[in-house]
Chains A and B, each alone.
Chain A
Amino acid sequence: MYEQPLRDMNINGVGSSSGGSFHRITLNGMATINGDASCNSFRGSGTSKVKGSLTTPSAQIDGTCSINGHLRAAQCRINGMATVDGMLNSDTLETQGKLTVHRDCEAERVTINGMFSIDGLLNAGTIDATILGACRAREIGGESITVRQGRMNSFSRMVTSLFTSPYLEADTIEGDEIVLEYTKARIVRGSMVVIGPGCEIDHVEYKVGLDVHNQAKVNRTTKL
């Protein structure tokens, strides 16, 4: 595809680049990319900012990263805090920390450990979320959706108990197999649905089976 061999971008300390196509992008410290960037592998440590879209087969974000455009990364690992203003398209998405997406988030496999806030649709084949704080998504859809409250150590328990315990808030959750804990949702639709402790669901529609924990509140259930 490219006639010239791609070069690497390395930023250590404070620096900026105007973007483009690269082989490897490594950002350490405070780095800003002022434009779209594509590369074979991306690694951002510290505070990085992309003022455009980032396209790469493999992205690892450690620390804080904000992307003003879309993030397309087949393999995506986030340790820390990431904010994407556009869409997030991925194959395998793993996050530890906080993920914010202002539009839709699509992936085949999503593993979340921590907090997330998605303004659009979270669409994935398998969603495995261990929540450790206030999480939000407008819509969640997929084949298998599992939401569990994470185990907290004494420090995080101290911090969160001052505010609220971890929970997920969503408008609609639709999938084939759904397992939820500590979730507030307007409607949950699926074939096998398990509503665990701490859930507040207005309406559950299920096809095959439904299991509601005695510490869960469900207003209405419908078997299709």
Chain B
Amino acid sequence: MIEDQLISKKDLLDLTGISYGQLYRWKRKDLIPEDWFIRKSTFTGQETFFPKEKILERIDKIVNMKDNLSLDELADMFSPNLASMALTKAELIDRNIITEIAMQLFTEQTGDAEAYSFEQIIYVYALDQMLQTGQMSIEEGKRLLQVLREHFKKLQGKGSELVMLRNMGSTSFLLVTSPSEMYVDHSTKLVAKLSMTECVEQLKVKLT
């Protein structure tokens, strides 16, 4: 896997115009995850680096939303913990959060329900995202749901990723904690990778 491009703390502050105080405050409030702070030795000594794309996107979000939401609310949004809320099927489809096909697939497995919890919605949302990549068939989607329903809870509170592998036409799904590195042999193809942490985050934005 390609290593993310890194940005030094100094360049980051230059680029975004935030101050040291703000950066440290956001870190204290858990708006910026601990594992994004990468310490590396440079010729001037130890310096802190960040994964460039992720940190810029996160800071952009914080800066844009901090006028409307308090820092604690923002922290809730970025945390991989699931929010507590429930929505009906019609609401989910009307608000374009989830497509009908994905919803149908889900209800086939679990049966119809009056309202869906955040936890259930995240499964369907992930399924939807994977279907939209065009890499996954409906049949495989069912297996994906199975993996999520059985195992996602065990990784709760941690960052996680969903990985789809295909080897000679047979598909496997892996649910792994992130950040993690993985390597596969030549005959196996890494078809798609989906960050569940990002899904949770996107979904929280969409639902609020």
Q: Footprint of B on A, CB under 8 Å?
A: 106, 108, 123-125, 141-144, 171-172, 174-176, 186-187, 189-191, 203, 205, 224
Is B45 in contact with A186, judged by CB distance below 8 angstroms? yes
B interface secondary structure, majority: helix
Report which B residues bind A (CB closer than 8 A). 9-10, 14, 19-21, 23-25, 27-28, 44-46
Which residues of chain A are within 8 angstroms of B21 by Cβ–Cβ distance?
Answer: 125, 142-144, 175-176
A106's partner among B9, B19, B28 (CB-CB below 8 A) is: B28
> In the complex, given contacts A106-B28, A123-B24, what are 17 additional A-B residue pairs having Cβ atoms less than 8 angstroms apart?
A123-B27, A123-B28, A141-B27, A142-B24, A143-B19, A143-B24, A143-B25, A144-B21, A171-B46, A172-B46, A174-B24, A175-B20, A187-B45, A189-B10, A191-B19, A203-B44, A224-B14
CB of A187, distance to nearest CB on chain B (Å): 7
| Residues of chain B contacted by A190 (CB below 8 angstroms) | 20
Smallest beta-carbon distance B13→chain A, Å:
9
A189 partner, pick from B20, B25, B46, beta carbons under 8 A: B20
Chain A nearest CB: distance from B146 CB in Å?
Answer: 33
Main secondary structure of the interface of A (DSSP, over half): strand
Can you name 17 A-B pairs with beta carbons within 8 Å? A106-B28, A123-B27, A123-B28, A143-B20, A143-B24, A144-B21, A171-B45, A171-B46, A174-B20, A174-B24, A175-B20, A187-B44, A189-B10, A189-B20, A191-B19, A191-B20, A224-B14
Residues of chain B within 8 A of A187, CB atoms compared:
44-45
Interchain CA distance A144-B27 in the complex, whole Å: 16
Residues of B within 8 A of A205 (CB): 10
Contacts of B20 in A (CB 8 A): 141-143, 174-176, 189-191
Q: Which residue of A lies closest to B19 (CB)?
A: A176
Bound complex: CA A108 to CA B23 (Å): 13
Q: How far is the CA of A187 from the CA of B9 in the complex (A)?
A: 13
The chain B residue sitting closest to A87, CB to CB, is B34
Residues of A within 8 A of B10 (CB): 189, 205
